[in-house]
Structure 1
């Protein structure tokens, strides 16, 4: 692949707001005649700073003008493409102001895929597997104008309890309110 052609194609996708790619996406974009040529071309783009390997098989187009604060979520969505993923646990509770610590370079994500931790140049993504069904996930998370849905405060707290994380980080008043809701829900069943 010629570098100028690659930049043109990636730039065209950037104009549409797309700058994070799985290896399979690049395979479709560049139409190389062999896997070896594709990998060699990607390696040259990485060497020249045009692409950055965010994770195994996930790449970010660095000159992208559309690149913004959602890059880590886009990388997470690309790593677990085809699964239901939503921001939860400490990341969600921090956004709600329910915990005092603010995870600066860490994103905690519940997923129907495998659990795992991925250290990327954009921050660390921690995936925690959930067995919740799709309806439950959609009912207990909201679209917030970002790549991933955000768990409701109650769902993030429930996830935190379910996976056995430290509940002492959660503000006492919030914990009391959420705990009383848990008790009310148990009596309704």
Structure 2
């Protein structure tokens, strides 16, 4: 007797998933159970996300928990996966907090400068990703970004993050200007 679709999905995800690859789109998972109608597939995904094995992180992205991802990196990896076709980099309050220019650490909030449209996306219990649009190109940012392997995203240096704060008219009151001037 053939396995039920949900069992086939889980079995396929167990083979594909690793601690580094644990986020899947519905299209990724669709290939694991090709014979299902669209309605049955959507219904199965709904059932799958109601248990603790497959968690809906946000619209169009699911986390496979048996892969045991690092919880501190899920929001970063989600941002990278959601906008894989755009230029994205960690900037604004997040970048400045990481280098000690802002004393308050944004909890469960990730700010990303993106060549895609501006959007704020709630990612369930993991937090929120805020994408802020830029028209700048990778060539214009050359030398101001470093790639962060753990986060799978580019990261702005201090001078770029400060310039982004001013360009996007963010609140500058939390910035420790003494520390900022030492880094720039």
TM-score above 0.5: yes
Q: Show the counterpart of 1:149.
A: 154
SS in 2 for 1:59: strand
Q: In structure 2, what is the equivalent of residue 125 of structure 1?
A: 129
CA distance in 1, matches of 2:40, 2:70: 27
Deviations 1:55-114 (A, max 9, x none): 111111122224442110111122223111111000000000001110111001111101
Q: Runs of 4 or more off by more than 3 Å in structure 1? A: 174-178
1:14 deviation in Å?
A: 1.8
Structure 1 SS opposite 2:130: strand
Any idea what SS the aligned residue of 1:159 has?
helix
How far, CA to CA, are the matches of 1:24 and 1:30 in structure 2?
Answer: 11
- Root-mean-square deviation (CA, aligned residues, Å) is 1.9
CA contact (8 A) 1:32 1:38 kept: no
Residue aligning to 2:170: 165
Any gaps of 5 or more consecutive residues in structure 2? Answer: none
Which protein has the bigger helix share? 1
Structure 1: gaps spanning 5 or more residues? 182-189
Could you say which residue in structure 1 is the equivalent of 2:179?
174
Matching residue of 1:65? 68
Q: Distance in 2 between matches of 1:116 and 1:98?
A: 25
Matched residue, 1:74: 77
Q: Give the Cα–Cα distance (whole angstroms) in 2 for the partners of residues 29 and 134 of structure 1.
A: 36
Query: Which segment drifts farther, 5-14 or 32-41?
Result: 32-41
The alignment's TM-score, normalised by the length of structure 2, stands at: 0.88
The alpha-carbon deviation at position 175 of structure 1 amounts to 4.0
Contact 1:54 1:122 in 2 (8 A): yes
Q: Is the 8 A contact 2:25 2:61 kept in 1?
A: yes
